[in-house]
A = this chain, B = another copy of it.
Amino acid sequence: MGTRGRQAEAKRNDLRLLAAAHEVFTRQGFDAPVSAIARQAGVGMGSLYRRYRTKEQLLQRLCVIAMERTVEAAETGLAHADPWEGLALYVRTCVANRSGALAPVAGTIEVTDEMWRTAREADEAAERLVTRAHEAGVLRRDVTMLDISLLMEQFSRPAPGPPSPEHDHVRHRLLAIALDGLRAPGATALPGEPPTLEWYESRWGDAP
């Protein structure tokens, strides 16, 4: 099973499509041409547009998947016995997944109910991870879950130019620096007020 003729090819095409779309969108930005995705997936435009009737639908599906992977990463982190290592693993995984790379899409597509729901799930899981670290005293007090989410978003931004392993490597180094900055117990206080959940969500449009 799995390779039963034409229907199986459709299934495989869908997977390759999603992978290609994730790759292209997170690397080139969300306004990459649809044809680039089809080419990268080794699939014709016709097949792409039969599966997703519009570019927006594809983007919406992609957002949901990205957030589901975020939830997964958070749960994996939560499963880690060490509160700090769990949190760090979560952050590193999300950045490696480019979970925040789809953020620039905010305001340009309609947010489905499923997207809101998954986003809430992801936020709750991340919140648990952060409060556990706070209670264990391994995370500086003046940092909130939203700070960390926005930090991951910042590090998920696509690199300029053609994708290169060097760039990924550099991002790893820089992230390590930022993670060290997250522990620093005696560090200087963070400037200003922490970001509000209201603002954070408002970037995507009005909540349901």
Task: Give chain A's interface residues, CB within 8 Å of chain B.
Answer: 103-107, 143, 147, 150-151, 154-155, 157, 160-162, 166, 169-174, 176-184, 187-188, 190-195, 199, 203
The residues of B that contact A187 with a CB separation of less than 8 Å are: 180
Cβ-defined contact, A170 with B195, below 8 A: yes
The residues of B that contact A199 with a CB separation of less than 8 Å are: 166
The residues of B that contact A192 with a CB separation of less than 8 Å are: 169, 172-173
Q: How far is the CB of A182 from chain B (nearest CB, A)?
A: 6
Cβ-defined contact, A166 with B195, below 8 A: yes
The residues of B that contact A183 with a CB separation of less than 8 Å are: 184
Cβ-defined contact, B160 with A173, below 8 A: no
A103 to B106, CA, bound (A): 23
Q: How far is the CB of A122 from chain B (nearest CB, A)?
A: 18
* Contact flag A160-B104 (CB < 8 Å), given A154-B154, A166-B195: yes
Q: How far is the CB of A86 from chain B (nearest CB, A)?
A: 16
Q: How far is the CB of A108 from chain B (nearest CB, A)?
A: 8
Partner of A106, one of B160, B170, B190: B160
Cβ-defined contact, A147 with B166, below 8 A: no
Residue of B nearest to A189 (CB): B176
A169 to B194, CA, bound (A): 9
Cβ-defined contact, A177 with B143, below 8 A: yes
A166 to B202, CA, bound (A): 12
The residues of B that contact A193 with a CB separation of less than 8 Å are: 169
Q: Could you write out 30 A-B pairs with CB less than 8 Å apart?
A: A103-B160, A104-B160, A104-B161, A106-B160, A106-B161, A143-B177, A147-B174, A147-B177, A154-B154, A154-B155, A154-B157, A154-B171, A160-B203, A161-B203, A166-B199, A169-B192, A169-B195, A172-B192, A173-B190, A173-B191, A176-B190, A176-B191, A177-B181, A177-B182, A178-B181, A179-B181, A180-B180, A180-B187, A181-B184, A183-B184
